[in-house]
Amino acid sequence: MTTYTEDFIKEMYKKIGIEKPKQLGFQNISGALGIKVYFWRNSSQALFIGSQAFIALNENLTVSQQWQEFCHELSHVLQHNGHQGYRGKMPRSWIEYQENKANNFMYHACIPSFMLDTLKINDYTFSTVIMIQRLFNVEYEFALSRVTQYINNRMQLYCCS
């Protein structure tokens, strides 16, 4: 059994021909989805001009950090409406909800469960986390969080279903 987010990401990636970790990257994904990516000095964000989606990434981040932030902003492009800058119109609780949802999406988009399933990940030892970090081009702490999440979710599914 998988979650809605896992299913959404798997279906989206398969539709655009991404099935292996080496195919993951914001260039491939943004190109296939028609999202324009730019680099700038400000914090990363997603925005729309008309119907065109843009993701602006902070140019001072590492490549791994940019990949992680791209996936966070991709969630806003694909799943959220409204401009968070309109503080008077958007309740703080709604902004927090969108950010939590985008963070969850980010972990799954950077390191998809369907790809982890093929690797048969059973632990989160240092060597496993380093392998995941390198394979998916993410930071160590990010890989550790995602592998821990993945194993805990799989254990819960198997023991409680």
Domain-by-domain residue ranges, the chain? 4-160
What's the confidence (pLDDT) of residue 80?
59
User: pLDDT for 23-80, tens place per residue?
Assistant: 999 999 999 999 999 999 999 999 988 889 999 999 999 999 999 999 999 999 998 5
The answer on pLDDT for 97 being more than 70 is yes
The answer on pLDDT for 84 being more than 80 is no
Q: How much of the chain exceeds pLDDT 90, in percent?
A: 72
Query: Which 3 state secondary structure label does DSSP give 143?
Result: helix
To the nearest 10°, report the CA torsion of 89, 99, 20, 114.
-110
